[in-house]
Amino acid sequence: MEEEERSNLIRVIGATVDAIKNQDIMQLKNLSNETIHDAAIYQEEYSISIAVIIYALSKIYEREFNYKKDKGWNSYCIDCIKRLELAKEKLSLNDISGFDKIIKEYLDSLKKLDIKLRDNILEVIHKAKINKASRLYEHGISLGRTAELLGISRFELMDYIGKTGISDVQENQTIDPIKRLKTARGLFK
Amino acid sequence: MKTIIFDSSTIISLATNDLLWILKDLKKYFDGRFVIPESVKIELVDNPFNSKYYKLEAIMINNYINKGYLEVYKAIDVENLLDISNKICYADDKNLVILHKAEIEALALASKINADAYSVDERTMRLMIENPFRLRKLLERKLERKISINKENLKKFESMTVKIPIIRSTELALIAYEKGLFKDLINDNVKEKDLVEALLWGLKMRGCSISDKEIEEIGRSEL
């Protein structure tokens, strides 16, 4: 892991814990977006996983009211903060494999939650992956590479991207569309 | 033989809009073959077939392959081209891995067999081929840092890939419209303008990289 990425992750994870404690949903979303720059450049699973986890947490805490009544919610919240603090500690000690283990254990622990809470949270995580994939694509990484990095299908990603304004940016247009259409006409005489 | 190479993105846009059938008729007008490389077939058929999401689209695409409307070309070695392609754009000293093997394989195949066109709805590959400096501009704006281009690798990339015309699902749908393939859909309530708009917006909404400005321009010229 590059030093710049490591120090960014330490800062972002610390701020994430504070944001959860302060119930600052907007800050969680901002922190997730911040990690996307590193995810696009370094493309290491650490930055990508953290971006997905933080975005998912923003969605989970945004809908806290819905989950509060689910069995296991309180212990999930306590466990989540504990694991994030531990992950930050491992990174601070430059223990990358320890950090990696904590993140993987956190994701595995979701599968052991009570069925209703588990299904809800895993669905949020899946949607967070698609959202973060669309942000990577927006940053210039190709559709195929992005789908590969996030482990999602191109079908899902295209469907999501189509509903964003990503293709409307100025840099997107390379050739006059009428000229491109004329080229196509020339192929189908 | 005349050939158009398809990236997975164009086929996905068509399949999710229930427009795969236009390939059958367009192939007659083209009088050539429509080809996908092996890795694209894996993305379109094999992978979604093994999941509950988009399994139906995978089956439909496979049907078009089985009927010969889409031909699958055996895998070709693209490791060198993939390596060069992903060492063109640099953020500080770090090369940006921006393209995927399947995307490169489609482009390499188009070059190898000197295809007449490459159909790709995905944006990054199109920018890389048509205007890599525009891609750099996008990367710089989004990543908020200077992006440098390794000119030597860009030159190698350009020499290994033909300057091939690029089309998208939107152009294919418009040609199908011009050839009268949608004439049954026109009636008192659905005017030609509605149909063209519906086709272009439908494809855009399912991921084809076309801007609203381009749609407006095309709409004005078509009608």
Closest CA to A36 of A123, A140, A154: A140
Picking from B131, B142, B168, the nearest residue to A139 by CB comes out as: B142
Q: Is A86 on the interface with B (CB under 8 A)?
A: no
On chain B, the residues whose CB falls within 8 A of the CB of A148 are 100
pLDDT of A162 over the 90 cut: yes
Closest partner residue to B103 (CB to CB) among A42, A142, A184 is A142
Q: How many Å lie between the alpha carbon of A82 and the closest alpha carbon of chain B?
A: 31
A37 reaches B (C-beta below 8 A):
yes
CB contact under 8 A, B117 and A169: no
Which residues on A lie below 8 Å from B179 (Cβ)? 188
Q: Tell me the CATH number for domain B3-167.
A: 3.40.50.1010
- CA–CA distance, B87 with B142 (Å, rounded to integer): 19
ipTM: 0.93
Per-residue DSSP letters for A38-88?
A: HHHHH--HHHHHHHHHHHHHHHHHHTHHHHTTSTTHHHHHHHHHHHHHHHH
Q: Is A179 on the interface with B (CB under 8 A)?
A: no
User: Are B117 and A184 within 8 A, CB to CB?
Assistant: yes
Instruction: Please name the member of B130, B138, B168 whose beta carbon is closest to the beta carbon of A140.
Output: B138
Task: Provide the angle, in degrees to the nearest 10, between the axes of the packed helices B123-130 and A143-150.
Answer: 140
- A-B interface: how many C-beta pairs under 8 angstroms? 173
Least confident segment among A31-35, A64-68, A174-178, B11-15: A64-68
pLDDT value for B205: 97
pLDDT digits 0-9 by tens, A122-154: 999 999 999 999 999 999 999 999 999 999 999
* Residues in chain B closer than 8 A to A159 (CB atoms): 16, 206-207
Nearest to B34 by CA among B103, B107, B101, B118: B118
Structural contact between residues B37 and B73, judged by C-beta atoms closer than 8 angstroms: yes
DSSP, collapsed to helix, strand or coil, labels residue B33 as: strand
Task: Kindly report the pTM of this predicted structure.
Answer: 0.91
Using CB atoms, which residue from B16, B123, B125 is nearest to A155? Answer: B16
Q: Do A157 and B207 touch (CB under 8 A)?
A: yes
Each domain of chain B, given as residue ranges in start order, spans 3-167, 169-222
pLDDT tens sequence across B196-222: 999 999 999 999 999 999 999 998 887
